[in-house]
A and B are shown apart, each in its own frame.
Chain A
Amino acid sequence: MQIMKFIKSLAYPSEMLPPIVEEESHFDPETEHSAAKLGMWLFLATELLLFGGLFAAYAIFRAKYPVMFAEGSANLDVVLGSVNTVILIFSSWTVAVAVTAIQENKIKLVQVMLWITLICAAIFGINKYFEYSYKLSNGIGPGTDIFYSIYFAATGVHMLHVFIGMAVLGVILKRTYEGRYSKEKFTAIEIGGLYWHLVDLIWIYLFPLLYLVG
């Protein structure tokens, strides 16, 4: 039956297309919600292991070349790193508030919180840009030594995640204006929020390891 319908739809495209029902649940909504969340946690596990390779490289090379790591770490800007830490944790808080707010149908609050999050993410990126350009203009690049290889790789991959998180939250923000989310339908906001918290989690480890403990 389905196949016949499909073939028919090829012949009469306009007639055959069923009306688009957006994001219809495959199961009951509650099961779908928890399944989506579990899927996100599984994805976060792979993300953690993506950074795991970098953490392993850090641990081994640090043990092998402690002096190089101490010198490299001392050359990083602790103030800028601390500011970025505060900004990122703050944006994690605003996302957490947004996830709770949507469950109380406070759309306005969700929008404000997501805007703040995006602005924080942008400031984080701008700070990182200054940090990178300052290093590069001083002739320090990813090829300078192993410490800077790891520094640029880890913070670079992390920055990429910040950009992806901005894109995800940006799309969610746009959709809140279209009235797509409500007390009953907020899965996207919750799992988008989970992703953003992971970006925060990774930075919580990167900051002390790269900037502080030289």
Chain B
Amino acid sequence: MASANPYKTYLNIWLLLMFLTFITVYAAEFDFGALNVPIALLIASVKAGVVALHFMHLKYEDSMTWIFAIYPLFLLFLLIAFSATDIFTRVAN
């Protein structure tokens, strides 16, 4: 691995993830109204990004692996966005 001491890096990453988990739970105590879900998703995405980059070694992978990792996110976006635009633009009969 590229890092001098990967074990220490992993430990730091784990502590960061624990901290972010705490933030997630703590933030849920407050009501941000419509921002509740975006905030939760933002923190979750930071955590997911950290796991993918460091634990899954995406940081050290080639561009092909990056495409394989990011392309499904685009498909996921299509799936959710297009289903939603379909459902919520239907005219009630």
Which A residues have a C-beta under 8 Å from some C-beta of B? 34, 37-38, 41-42, 44-46, 48-49, 52-53, 55-56, 59-60, 63-64, 78, 82, 85-86, 89-90, 92-93, 95-97, 99-100, 103, 193-194, 197, 200-201, 204-205, 207-209, 212-213
Whether A45 contacts B72 by the Cβ 8 Å rule is yes
Interface of B is mostly: helix
A85-B21, A93-B55 given; name 19 further pairs at CB < 8 Å.
A38-B64, A38-B65, A38-B68, A42-B68, A45-B72, A59-B83, A78-B28, A82-B25, A89-B51, A96-B54, A96-B55, A97-B7, A100-B10, A200-B51, A201-B48, A204-B48, A209-B37, A213-B28, A213-B36
Mask for B15-44, Cβ within 8 A of A = 1, else 0?
A: 001100100110010000000110011011
Bound state CA distance, A196 and B17, in angstroms? 16
Bound state CA distance, A41 and B73, in angstroms? 13
Closest residue of chain A to B80, judged by CB?
A: A56
Complex contacts, A99 vs chain B, CB 8 Å: 57
A-B pairs with beta carbons under 8 Å apart, 20 shown: A38-B65, A44-B72, A45-B71, A46-B72, A48-B76, A49-B76, A49-B79, A53-B79, A56-B84, A78-B28, A82-B21, A93-B14, A100-B10, A200-B51, A201-B52, A204-B44, A205-B44, A208-B41, A209-B44, A212-B28
Bound state CA distance, A204 and B47, in angstroms? 7
B91 CB–A CB distance under 8 Å: no
Complex contacts, B21 vs chain A, CB 8 Å: 82, 85-86, 89
Whether A41 contacts B48 by the Cβ 8 Å rule is no
Whether A213 contacts B37 by the Cβ 8 Å rule is yes
Complex contacts, B48 vs chain A, CB 8 Å: 201, 204-205
Whether B24 contacts A208 by the Cβ 8 Å rule is yes
Closest residue of chain A to B71, judged by CB?
A: A45
| A158 → chain B closest CB, angstroms | 14
Known interface pairs A41-B65, A41-B68; A208-B17 also in contact (CB < 8 Å) = no
Bound state CA distance, A197 and B57, in angstroms? 11
Bound state CA distance, A92 and B18, in angstroms? 12
7 closest A-B pairs by CB? A45-B72, A212-B28, A208-B40, A41-B68, A93-B14, A96-B55, A56-B80
Complex contacts, B73 vs chain A, CB 8 Å: 48
